[in-house]
Amino acid sequence: MRPNPVKSLPKQFNNPRAWHNFQGRTCSILAVGSYVPERVLANAHFEKIVNTSDEWITTRTGIKERRIAAKNESTSDLAAKAAWRAIKRANITPDQIDLIVLATITPDMPFPSTACLVQEKIGARRAVAFDIQAACSGFIFGLEVAQQFIMSRTYDTALVIGAEKLSSIVNWKDRNTCVLFGDGAGAAILRHRPAAHGLLTACMGSDGSRADLLCMPGGGSRCPATRESLAAGMHYLHMKDGKETFKSAITAMYTAAKEVLRRCELDITQIKCVIPHQANRRIIDAVAERLGARQEQLFINLHKYGNTSAASVAIALDDAVQSGRIQRGDLVLLIVFGAGLTWGAAVIEW
Ligand SMILES: CC(C)(COP(=O)(O)OP(=O)(O)OC[C@H]1O[C@@H](n2cnc3c(N)ncnc32)[C@H](O)[C@@H]1OP(=O)(O)O)[C@@H](O)C(=O)NCCC(=O)NCCS
């Protein structure tokens, strides 16, 4: 193991960032926050609208219920509420935020960015704000983008948000997809903390050759909204092949997790809490088994919220912190997978 070049940092593990960016500085998560809408939709509801059962959904996915936003509640509303909670816990004021990065596949509208709408809602007037789109992998992609600005000393304080109102793009007549998704938002405040490693490393990947596996075909420049496109259901989330998506998720999540552990010279047993994308309990268990992670290391809340895409690991991280599963100094492993295809993993010293 090479000694860490930044003298003030503890040396129990390798910090790849300290090596490659030793002119820069580390980036930590100061605080997290999340918000889920009040309305709870249990599996039993779907028995009334499609040919399914609570038993099928529970055994195939692990999901028991999900949250559904109100009609007048948009993605930026959920995001702003999650952001406020993180801002308060970080003990900062909105005018201290330099950068807002918001990950979503359900923006309030195609433009302007939902990040700009959140900026206005929380009064972060000094911040530069923009959206990124990496589907369910969005929160890790957002953390990675924001931390680059902090490490390079371009900005001091960043707000990263994963937020979705997936109920607005779900086809409620398609049993293959409507049971899987929910609404919610999670947020993190990023800043340098002296003598802390923070975000140790992140690995991200994409494979556009399989873009058709999960997509929303309508509403963009290829297929603008017309009466015909609406009638053909082009403006709904489409999943071409659930089984293929399932298999791809396991391989990509396992590979990404192994890569970040390798970079930090960490063994899975040294990780206090593994927070995987909350899409399907069977995917999580398969990834954990391959990694050699014990059930007690896993953090799972998908039975309460379903798959909330970019918000998924952000909400789970907040739940884990607020419930005391993660303490300062613990090592946390985040693992994501989503449409694109996209995937990623990150190691954080909390
Ligand atoms: C969708 C998923 C739960 C299905 O599980 P599975 O083990 O692949 O399902 P199986 O192949 O055993 O069963 C498929 C059958 O169940 C049916 N089915 C699908 N949804 C159903 C539902 N809600 N209720 C009852 N039956 C359902 C299908 O129509 C299919 O029926 P058929 O065999 O008659 O065509 C699983 O593939 C999955 O989670 N895929 C990943 C989805 C995902 O997470 N996407 C987002 C990634 S970020």
pLDDT digits (tens, 9 = 90+) for 19-60: 655 567 899 999 999 999 999 999 999 999 999 999 999 999
The distance between the two most distant Cα atoms of the chain, rounded to a whole number of Å, is 63
CA 248 – ligand 1 centroid, Å: 14
Q: Are 235 and 169 in contact (CB under 8 A)?
A: yes
- Residues annotated as catalytic (active site), given as ranges: 136, 277, 307
Stated pTM of the model: 0.94
Task: State phi, psi for 223 to the nearest 5 degrees.
Answer: -140, 80
The protein residue whose alpha carbon is closest to atom 23 in ligand 1 is 175
Q: Are 344 and 140 in contact (CB under 8 A)?
A: yes
pLDDT at 130 over 90: yes
Place of tokens 């509403």: 219
43 membership: H or E segment, kind and range: helix 43-49
The token pair at 5 is 């070049």
Residue labelled with tokens 């494979």: 207
d(CA 345, CA 50): 35
Contact (Cβ atoms closer than 8 angstroms) between residue 349 and residue 328:
no
What is the spatial distance between Cα 253 and Cα 158, in angstroms, rounded to a whole number?
26
* Extended strands (E) in the chain: 28-35, 39-42, 65-68, 99-103, 128-132, 158-165, 183-191, 199-206, 214-215, 238-239, 273-276, 331-338, 342-349
- Other Cβ atoms less than 10 A from the Cβ of 73: the count is 18
Residue 120 binned pLDDT confidence (cut-offs 50, 70, 90): very high
Partners of 158 in the beta sheet? 99, 190
So what's the pLDDT on residue 25? Answer: 87
Angle in degrees, 0-180, between the axes of helices 75-90 and 312-322, rounded to the nearest 10? 30
Query: Given pLDDT bands bounded at 50, 70 and 90, which one contains residue 5?
Result: low
pLDDT at 13: 73
Residue nearest to atom 25 of ligand 1 (CA): 52
Residue 61 Cα: closest atom of ligand 1: 3
CB 59 within 8 A of CB 229: no
Q: Which phi-psi region, left, alpha or beta, contains residue 231 (left: φ > 0; alpha: ψ -120 to 50)?
A: alpha
Q: Is the pLDDT of residue 2 over 60?
A: no
* pLDDT tops 60 at residue 8: yes
Q: Which two tokens stand for residue 347?
A: 């190691």
CA 95 vs. chain centroid, Å, equals: 25
- Which one of 176, 179, 312 would you pick to mutate in the ligand 1 pocket, going by the greatest count of ligand atoms within 8 A of its CB? 176
Residues touching ligand 1 (Cβ under 6 Å) are: 52, 56-57, 60-61, 136, 175-176, 179-180, 214, 239, 242-243, 245-246, 249, 279-280, 307, 337-338
